[in-house]
Amino acid sequence: MDFFFIGDPELVTAFRFVGVEGTTAGDAEEASAVFRRITEGYDATAGIVLPGGVEGCRVLILTEEVADWLGELLIKWQLSDRYPLVVEIPGTLGRLPGRKSLVDSIREAIGVHV
């Protein structure tokens, strides 16, 4: 499994249509439990740690809402320099207020506005 998705039910279904496994998260607690299972192999329901997280997951795709719920846990993971890489996408309700688009980030990085 190269990719895994965490988000709302509609997007989980959409990602499954293109062959990406995923699961829903309805609140911060669920998001944290799934994130830890994927990245660290920690299964909160069973209280066990599986070595190395979910085998073969290289890219973890999250909605912006899930990323907000994860907060500091996500930031620590991103700074750890380990796989899976984390990619945030807008949810079904669109981009969250205050979030930059990819184009805005690129424009800011290279300093060119057209």
Half-sphere exposure of 57 (CA within 13 A, CB side): 24
Amino acid 66: pLDDT? 93
Q: Are the C-beta atoms of 70 and 25 separated by less than 8 Å?
A: no
Quote the tokens at residue 114: 């057209």
DSSP 45-81: TTTEE-TTSSTT--EEEEEHHHHHHHTHHHHHHHHTT
Band (88; pLDDT cuts 50, 70, 90): confident
Cα distance between residue 88 and residue 15, in whole Å: 14
C-beta neighbour count of 17 within 10 angstroms? 7
> If you average pLDDT over every residue of the chain, what do you get?
80
Cα distance between residue 43 and residue 78, in whole Å: 20
Amino acid 51: pLDDT? 47
Give Cα 101 to chain centroid, integer Å. Answer: 16
Amino acid 13: pLDDT? 93
Domain boundaries, the chain: 3-110
Has residue 95 got a pLDDT over 70? no
CATH 3.40.720.10 describes domain 3-110: no
Band (106; pLDDT cuts 50, 70, 90): low
pLDDT, tens digit (0-9, with 9 covering 90-100), for 13-57: 999 999 999 999 999 999 999 998 888 875 555 555 554 455 568
